[in-house]
Amino acid sequence: MATDIAFALGVLYLLGDKIPLSLKVFLTALAIVDDLGAVLVIAFFYTSEISTTSLMLGALFLLIMFLGNKLGVRSILFYAIVGIGGVWTAFLLSGIHATIAAVLAAFMIPANVKIKETSYAQAIQKYLDKFRGIDPNDKIPTLTNEQLHILDSIKKDTDNAIPPLQKLEHAMHPFVTFIIIPIFALANAGVSILGTDMNELFSTNIAMGVALGLLLGKVVGVVGFTFLSVKLKVAPFPQGMNIRNLFGLGLLASIGFTMSLFITNLAFGHEEYIAQAKIGIFAASIVGGVLGYVLLKRSTK
């Protein structure tokens, strides 16, 4: 299923400045859309019995967030409380997988700024010039009221220059990076093969099917739909890319970890089948990463 953005881009960045920027943008966009597709798969195909009441309650909280956006509410605390305490909880209780709640809630958070970059830079320069123009009082180690007023104005303009969505993302980044993702990885990635009969791990074609699905499926899908989009004039062929680059990116797209492992736990109810599917994911990720790296390295010489 979904391409792991971190690993795929990590392999791409190993090639350094030889890789055109268009390849990095293409792979990033592909991985993001791929992850959103995985979320939709979870929402539609791995959903238990739906509670209409909880679903309507979740929709009501989404409406509250939407109205707050339109009314100019820019408090990240407001969107965090309504989004997590309202939307996420309601979707969790509704039976629809809660991962879709975060995607829907993100669309309701303002992504615009109240002050443009140029205006912000000019305002900050004006405040700094005014701050420097005030004679410091060496006898008292505190700021004057005028200096405090200037700093409050800088803080207010800085707050208005950052979109609430980006501000919330920045605030949650350390928590997600150092707590959520490690817990997620530890909970989903483990495959114990010690003391396990290898014949049991490969007693079905699950591992092979998953591996080939990722390797061949991603290459055929990425290359095929790219050419189809170009032929139908939906989109131009990415500038700076060639056919070998495209096949290399298709191979890197087969690197699956986070969402692929997560869907595996949802798709298979038997522990033996889950282990086999995870081995298939790891095998495809390693082979796809190595082959993609080699092909891209040769194509940039």
Cβ neighbours of 176 (radius 10 Å): 12
Q: Which residues contact 200 (CB under 8 A, 6 or more apart)?
A: 272
Q: Which residues contact 144 (CB under 8 A, 6 or more apart)?
A: 134, 137
Residue 116, sorted as left (phi over 0), alpha (psi -120 to 50) or beta, turns out to be beta
Per-residue pLDDT 10s for the chain (301 aa) are: 566 777 787 888 888 777 888 888 888 888 888 877 887 787 777 776 788 899 999 999 999 999 999 999 999 999 999 999 999 999 889 888 777 888 899 999 999 999 999 999 999 999 999 988 887 766 777 888 888 999 999 999 999 999 999 998 888 888 887 888 777 766 666 665 555 566 666 667 888 898 999 899 999 999 999 999 999 988 888 888 888 889 999 999 988 877 788 788 888 878 888 888 888 888 898 999 999 999 988 877 6
For residue 291, the model assigns a pLDDT of 93
pLDDT digits (tens, 9 = 90+) for 111-164: 999 999 999 999 999 999 998 888 776 677 788 888 899 999 999 999 999 999
Which phi and psi (to 5°) does residue 227 adopt? -65, -40
pLDDT digits (tens, 9 = 90+) for 11-27: 888 887 778 888 888 88
What sections of the chain are H helices per DSSP? 5-13, 21-45, 52-70, 76-80, 89-94, 99-108, 117-132, 145-161, 164-175, 181-189, 198-201, 206-231, 243-252, 258-267, 271-299
For residue 66, the model assigns a pLDDT of 96
Please count the CA atoms within 13 angstroms of the CA of 63 that sit on its side-chain side.
6
Note the pTM of the prediction, 2 decimals: 0.66
Q: Which residues contact 102 (CB under 8 A, 6 or more apart)?
A: 83, 88
* pLDDT above 90 as % of the chain: 37
